[in-house]
A and B are shown apart, each in its own frame.
Chain A
Amino acid sequence: MSGVMKRMGMIFRAKANKALDRAEDPRETLDYSYQKQLELLQKVRRGVADVATSRKRLELQLNQLQGQSAKLEDQGRKALALGREDLAREALSRRASLQQQVSDLEVQHQTLQGEEEKLTLAAQRLQAKVDAFRTKKETIKATYTAAQAQTRIAESFSGISEEMSDVGLAIQRAEDKTAQLQARAGAIDELLASGALDDQSGLGSKDDIQAELDRLSGGTDVELELQRMKAELAGGPSAQQQAIEGGAQGNAQQPQTQHRFDKQ
């Protein structure tokens, strides 16, 4: 497959891997974002604590003022009992101004309490959101890791298959070459045998010599055979002599023919 589909796929994968490798790891970004959210939550919680502290301080002040107010009321009653109406009046007027402060503080206290409740609620909501983000972040990270692994697997798979086809091609080439050489060797053998091609190697000339030797030794055999037969004939009848003579001739030719075949 070498068409547009395959080529585009290959280019895409190469580019995607490069982009994936180079780009900032989204998992780090997610972790960073989570860290930031935790910091924000921390700030809100600190805010809630600050408001609560202010509220407590107001409550202390209120207690103090109410204590003072009670004391002034007591003093006024005592002054009146002692017949010091002017002193009693003074104590009561001071108590009145304290009462004013108390009611002011009570309004502030209520405002702060409302503020605190709102902040606490916000912190709880934020906490829930951060928790949800943490879950989502872990899911995204896992998905990303899986996608990355898949890309790597695809990459190594395609690499392996390419290598395998390379090896296959090499084997194919080696086989082709062997077959070619074998075919050529066979052809040369045939040509040499038929005599169309002269054998330039030393083997050929040696064979020529061997052939000559064979012929010579073949001739010697014939001579020896003839001599042996002649010796036999010297003592045999004439009818037998003719038959043996024919057979001897056949025998004498046989080794020569065989040698010629052997050479080939």
Chain B
Amino acid sequence: MIVRIMGEGQLDVADSHFAQLNKLDDELLAEMEGGDEEGFRRTLGALLEAVRRLGAPLPDDALEPSELILPGPDASLDEVRQMLRDDGLIPG
């Protein structure tokens, strides 16, 4: 699956790794919904690290739609929450 880390680029991550990533991802969602900023930062860091470690970076000129998208490493809990709201990202 193609995963995009916002501001960094795309990585191709083998499907077999997703059980592992999903655990972190679910944790991240729970921390975001619970408003646990510190936990959110830690889990986001761990998740990005795992994606970078397990994935192969796609060339910059590759034209592949991302199936999964992750916020960049410096994204705050509030920013991500903003993005996940229905009218985020590209307004309108």
Contact = CB atoms under 8 A, between A and B. Distances in A.
Contacts of B83: 8, 11
Contacts, number: 65
B63 A5 contact: no
Contacts of A9: 66-69
B3 A5 contact: yes
Interface in B66-90: 66-71, 80, 83-84, 86, 88-90
B90 A18 contact: yes
Contacts of B18: 1
Contact of B29 (A4, A18, A19, A146): A4
Given A12-B69, A19-B90, A4 B63 contact: no
A147 B29 contact: no
Contact of A3 (B28, B88, B89): B28
Contacts of A143: 63
Contacts of A18: 90, 92
Interface string A1-31: 1111111110111011011000000000000
B46 interface: no
Interface string B40-68: 00000001000000000000000111111
Interface in B1-59: 3, 18, 21-22, 25-26, 28-29, 32, 47
A187 interface: no
B84 A7 contact: yes
A1 B28 CA distance: 12
Contacts of B64: 150
Given A5-B3, A147-B63, A150-B65, A11 B25 contact: no
Contacts of B29: 2-4, 7
B90 A8 contact: no
A179 interface: no
Nearest to B21: A5
B3 A154 contact: no
B65 A4 contact: no
A101 interface: no
Interface in A143-170: 143, 146-147, 150-151, 154
Contacts of B28: 3-4
Given A2-B29, A9-B68, 17 more contacts: A1-B18, A1-B22, A3-B25, A3-B26, A3-B28, A5-B3, A7-B84, A8-B69, A9-B66, A11-B88, A11-B89, A13-B65, A18-B90, A18-B92, A19-B90, A150-B64, A154-B65
Interface of A: 1-9, 11-13, 15-16, 18-19, 143, 146-147, 150-151, 154
